[in-house]
């Protein structure tokens, strides 16, 4: 298979927000304890944070981390997670079951963000909390005067304000399963009131408001934007892919092409957002929950969500496809948070003795390093197909989508200080693609290096026993524009990038 990729570094689409390389933490199962906080581990620091996890996340290049959820956020009492640890209460986890130690609270989260160079994104409790609860939490984090909240923070050892910028108000507030479900009009009024009060305290904050369920409820979005567009900086979306039968490759097309449906849905939502943007205030989209869920089929045919199924190469191909979409839609997509950072569907698999870097880890780390700066125009010519019915959200869900024609090869490009990186994804399960590059006349370029994540088995993964089963390959290149044609082969079901230096 052959594809031609045209890249025009002179046609800049928009600035890529580094916040699209974000992650997500939530209190459930082993996603926090003992994966991140474990006072009994020899790997932990003086406050209980796992040093090996902190180091791996710092290397990952994570730009923003959302916490404490998710649905858990709408039950979370922030006061339970501050102050001396020995005095913090043992509480029920009303969202996922079990008990919550509250050992990992606001200060521990913000310390973790500081150690990993990630911006904190705190989701306020709209479901069971009050505006005053949120304002007091904001004061604890950002206040500088001697209020009880600020004095409590100082007693805990942090004199200066944390200056937390990103604050979410609500989570899936449209959902029947969510604590504090509201209709659109009720939520829009509440959002506006909370955002106004929080901005009076901290005028510099960025507010995230809840967008519609998987992009599709335009009436919800119109209500929220009509009432609160001037009060929010991001409108949030949650979207998931899924797989069930991870054998034989039968699901690969539905998973690998699902990012094309993400792109369709982003464009539809942007059509609703754009009329509310002004020269001085622009709302971005935030995909603050996304991943590929893994389901297992039981002997009786029922499907069970498996939070601990290892992330495989197929998941990495999907994730790279979503990242390519967000790069191409720069700057309109301003943030994204992959679910989850640790263990459950995780970018990292944490065990008692160490950390396993999944195929997803390698994709996120490389994209955060290379796919930055300006998104520039790309176009692909080659074999293609109509988008197959995607596997999105939950088995049995029939998502609305357009069966548009797309190429097998997916591409995006980023220009950063004279360095151009081209991201290529082969969505064929079985065939490699030979790529021919075309740039405008007068754009001289030299290929410096390539990076590739590939494996013969699309379901290959890394675990404790084989931590490097799927690992990236890198190589220096020496290909210039004087070569008759710039060519590379992208293996089946793989992700590849090529980095160039523009020389004229």
pLDDT in tens, the chain (504 residues): 999 999 999 999 999 999 999 999 999 999 999 999 999 999 999 999 999 999 999 999 999 999 999 999 999 999 999 999 999 999 999 999 999 999 999 999 999 999 999 999 999 999 999 999 999 999 999 999 999 999 999 999 999 999 999 999 999 999 999 999 999 999 999 999 999 999 999 999 999 999 998 777 889 999 999 999 999 999 999 999 999 989 889 999 999 999 999 999 999 999 999 999 999 999 999 999 999 999 999 999 899 999 999 999 999 999 999 999 999 999 999 999 999 999 988 999 999 999 999 999 999 999 999 999 999 999 999 999 999 999 998 888 888 899 999 999 999 999 999 999 999 999 999 999 999 999 999 898 888 899 999 999 999 999 999 999 999 999 887 655 444 345 689 999 999 999 999 986
Residues 6+ apart with CB under 8 A from 499: 370, 419, 420, 421, 422, 447, 448, 449, 450, 451
Neighbours of 52 (CB within 10 A): 15
3-state secondary structure 373-424: CEEEEEEEEECEEECCCCCECCCCCCCCCCCCEEECEEEEEEEECCEEEEEE
Please, are residues 317 and 495 in contact by the beta-carbon 8 Å criterion? yes
Q: Which helix (H) or strand (E) holds 218?
A: helix 218-228
Residues, the chain, total?
504
DSSP 281-323: --PEEEEEEEEEEEEEE-TTS-EEE-TTSPPBHHHHHHHHHHH
């Amino acid at each position: 298979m052959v594809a031609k990729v045209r890249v025009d570094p002179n046609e800049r689409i928009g600035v890529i927000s580094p916040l699209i390389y974000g992650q997500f933490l939530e209190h459930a199962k082993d996603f926090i304890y003992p994966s991140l906080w474990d006072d009994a581990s020899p790997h932990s620091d003086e406050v209980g944070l796992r040093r090996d996890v902190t180091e791996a996340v710092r290397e990952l290049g994570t730009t923003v981390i959302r916490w404490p959820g998710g649905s858990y956020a709408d039950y979370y009492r922030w006061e339970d997670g501050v102050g001396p640890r020995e005095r913090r209460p043992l509480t029920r986890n009303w969202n996922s079951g079990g008990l919550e130690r509250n050992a990992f609270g606001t200060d521990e989260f913000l310390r973790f963000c500081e150690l990993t160079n990630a911006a904190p994104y705190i989701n306020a409790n709209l479901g069971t909390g009050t505006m005053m609860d949120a304002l007091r939490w904001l004061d604890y984090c950002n206040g500088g005067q001697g209020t009880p909240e600020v004095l409590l923070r100082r007693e805990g050892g942090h004199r200066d304000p944390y200056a937390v910028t990103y604050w979410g108000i609500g989570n899936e507030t449209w959902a029947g399963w969510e604590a504090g479900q509201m209709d659109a009009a009720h939520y829009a009024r509440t959002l506006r009131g909370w955002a106004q009060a929080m901005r009076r305290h901290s005028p510099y904050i960025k507010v995230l408001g809840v967008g519609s369920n998987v992009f599709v409820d335009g009436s919800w979005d119109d209500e929220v934007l009509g009432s609160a567009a001037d009060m929010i900086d991001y409108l949030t979306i949650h979207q998931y892919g899924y797989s069930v039968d991870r054998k034989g490759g039968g699901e690969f097309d539905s998973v690998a092409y699902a990012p094309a449906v993400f792109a369709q849905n982003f464009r539809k939502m942007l059509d609703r957002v754009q009329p509310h943007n002004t020269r001085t205030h622009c709302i971005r989209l935030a995909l603050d929950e996304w991943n590929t869920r893994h389901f297992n089929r039981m002997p009786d045919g029922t499907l069970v969500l498996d939070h601990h199924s290892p992330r495989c190469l197929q998941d990495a191909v999907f994730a790279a496809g979503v990242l390519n979409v967000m790069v191409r839609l720069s700057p309109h997509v301003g943030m994204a948070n992959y679910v989850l950072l640790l263990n459950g569907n995780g970018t990292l698999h944490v065990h008692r003795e160490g950390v396993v870097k999944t195929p997803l880890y390698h994709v996120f780390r490389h994209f955060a390093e290379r796919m930055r700066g300006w998104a520039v125009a790309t176009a692909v010519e080659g074999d293609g197909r109509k988008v197959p019915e995607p596997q999105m959200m939950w088995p049995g869900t029939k998502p609305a989508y357009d069966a548009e024609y797309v190429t097998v090869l997916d591409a995006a490009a980023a220009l950063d200080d004279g360095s151009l990186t081209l991201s290529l994804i082969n969505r064929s399960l079985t065939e490699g693609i030979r790529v021919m590059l075309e740039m405008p006349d007068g754009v001289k370029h030299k290929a410096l290096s390539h990076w590739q994540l590939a494996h013969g088995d699309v379901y290959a993964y890394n675990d404790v026993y084989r931590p490097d089963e799927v690992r990236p390959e890198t190589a220096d290149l020496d290909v210039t524009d004087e070569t008759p044609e710039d060519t590379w082969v992208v293996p089946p079901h793989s992700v590849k990038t090529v980095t160039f230096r523009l020389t004229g």
